[in-house]
């Protein structure tokens, strides 16, 4: 009788181990909620600083995105190269930013004569 109960418990345990392992793995793929808040906080700080500068009213077309490692991506368009550089400078000066990467296109820049 004891052997039968022990065998049943052993078999139930073996059947549950893969399910427990699968459950643990699926939760590890989800981002930490505090990371999401931190990333959106960095993005909001940069957007606020971009729109607060009186000389940089054209930053409405520059989009800011932050990943969970503190990497900031700037995209969109700027009218001059100096506007892109100023946006990068503002992003770099924001707390929590590790790296700034820019995909900003210059929209109305003057053509370079050769």
What 3-state class would DSSP assign to 46? helix
Pair of tokens at residue 108: 């109305």
Q: What confidence category does residue 112 fall into, taking pLDDT thresholds of 50, 70 and 90? A: very low
State yes or no: pLDDT of 8 exceeds 70.
Answer: yes
Alpha-helix runs per DSSP H in the chain: 2-28, 33-52, 81-92
- The C-alpha atoms of residue 100 and residue 50 are separated, in whole angstroms, by 14
| pLDDT of res. 92 | 92
pLDDT digit string (tens) for 26-74? Answer: 455 556 666 665 788 899 998 888 888 666 556 678 899 998 888 999 9
- The C-alpha atoms of residue 17 and residue 30 are separated, in whole angstroms, by 21
CB-based contacts of 68: which residues, under 8 Å, 6+ apart? 31, 32, 35, 36, 38, 39
Count other Cβ atoms within 10 Å, centred on residue 87. Answer: 26
- The C-alpha atoms of residue 42 and residue 38 are separated, in whole angstroms, by 6
Is 0.85 surpassed by the pTM of this model?
A: no
| pLDDT of res. 73 | 94
- CATH code for the structural domain at 33-106: 3.30.1340.30
- Domain-wise residue ranges, the chain: 1-30, 33-106
């Amino acid at each position: 009788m004891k052997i039968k109960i022990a065998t049943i418990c052993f078999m139930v345990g073996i059947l549950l181990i893969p399910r427990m392992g699968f459950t643990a793995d699926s939760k590890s793929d989800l981002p930490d909620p505090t990371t999401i808040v931190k990333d959106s906080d960095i993005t909001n700080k940069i957007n606020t600083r971009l729109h607060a500068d009186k000389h940089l009213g054209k930053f409405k077309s520059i989009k800011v995105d932050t990943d969970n490692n503190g990497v900031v991506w700037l995209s969109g368009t700027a009218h001059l190269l100096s506007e892109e550089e100023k946006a990068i400078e503002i992003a770099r000066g924001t707390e929590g930013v590790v790296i700034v990467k820019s995909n900003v296109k210059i929209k109305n820049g003057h053509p370079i004569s050769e």
